[in-house]
Amino acid sequence: MTDQIAFDDFLKVDIRVGRILQADLFPEARKPAYKLLIDFGPDIGQRKSSAQITVHYNPEALVGRLVMAVVNFPPRQIGPMRSEVLVLGVADPEGAVILLAPNFDAPVGARMH
């Protein structure tokens, strides 16, 4: 069983819809990863992230794709890059990441309820 948290604690995590504008190889990362530039709409703007999603995705297919990301964690330094948001995913049976995304077109910046 996982640890329980209060619902008010969950509400503090700000998860938003973003659209990937740019995806580039990130050769400086310790594990294979991409550098992503993601648009979260006018209130949040564009943010950078590092994502270890190279098994199931290539950079060209990522551009224009919607993703879900935590936008209110503090930035983390990943090699020479400052990662500003945490893109969300789940592991497949081999441990490779599958992105979490809306099933339908959703406005960028929309908050998860």
Spell out the domains of the chain, with CATH numbers in brackets: 9-99 (2.40.50.140)
In sequence order, what are the beta bridge partners of 111? 16
pLDDT for position 93: 98
- Predicted pLDDT of residue 59: 97
Segment 41-77, tens digit of pLDDT: 999 999 999 999 999 999 999 999 999 999 999 999 9
> What is the Rg, in whole angstroms, of the alpha carbon atoms belonging to the chain?
14
| Strand, coil or helix: 73 | coil
pTM comes to 0.94
Mean local confidence (pLDDT), 30-35? 95
- Judge contact between 63 and 21, C-beta under 8 A: yes
Q: Are the C-beta atoms of residues 90 and 44 closer than 8 Å to each other?
A: no
State what percent of residues in the chain have pLDDT above 90: 96
